[in-house]
């Protein structure tokens, strides 16, 4: 069960959609942000990615940038409870870069590709 106002991040190596659980009891997701590599790009930072093949580098870079974005949101107290739904490889990269504060607020992780799913399918997967 996700708490009211929990943030749900549904991601893959190309994009992410951030939802908020607006239900007092149960799960009812409302989209609050769509995240793309362009919206996260910071030309001043070049991430250090170890053991990544060239064809996976772009997806790994997005996963790293998304995790940094979530870490920053947590550190600014913009979210208290977090659930992350991502394909297994993206989730694996994200896990390596969670800030301790994000880890403490993480309520659920689901290794599943749901970025092209509708809201009812995402809610069902989290139920």
The tens digit of pLDDT for each residue in 45-92 reads: 444 445 555 557 888 899 999 999 999 999 998 889 999 999 999 999
Contact 55, 80 (CB under 8 A): no
Lookup: tokens for 55: 């064809």
Eight-state DSSP code of residue 51:
S
Contact 125, 110 (CB under 8 A): yes
Q: The whole model's pTM is what?
A: 0.86
Structural domains of the chain, with CATH? 7-126 (3.30.420)
Contact 16, 40 (CB under 8 A): no
Q: Which residues pair with 85 in a beta bridge?
A: 10, 110
The tens digit of pLDDT for each residue in 20-30 reads: 999 999 999 99
């Amino acid at each position: 069960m996700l708490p009211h106002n929990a943030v749900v991040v549904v991601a893959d190596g190309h994009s992410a959609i951030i939802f908020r659980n607006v239900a007092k009891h149960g799960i009812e997701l409302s989209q609050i942000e769509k995240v793309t590599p362009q919206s996260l790009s910071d030309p001043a930072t070049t991430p250090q990615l170890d053991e990544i093949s060239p064809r996976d580098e772009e997806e790994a870079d997005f996963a790293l940038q998304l995790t940094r974005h979530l870490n920053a949101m947590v550190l600014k107290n913009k979210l208290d409870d977090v659930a992350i739904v991502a394909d297994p490889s993206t989730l694996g990269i994200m896990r390596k870069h969670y800030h301790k504060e994000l880890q403490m607020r993480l309520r659920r992780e689901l290794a599943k590709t749901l970025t092209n799913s509708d809201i009812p399918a995402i809610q069902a997967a989290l139920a």
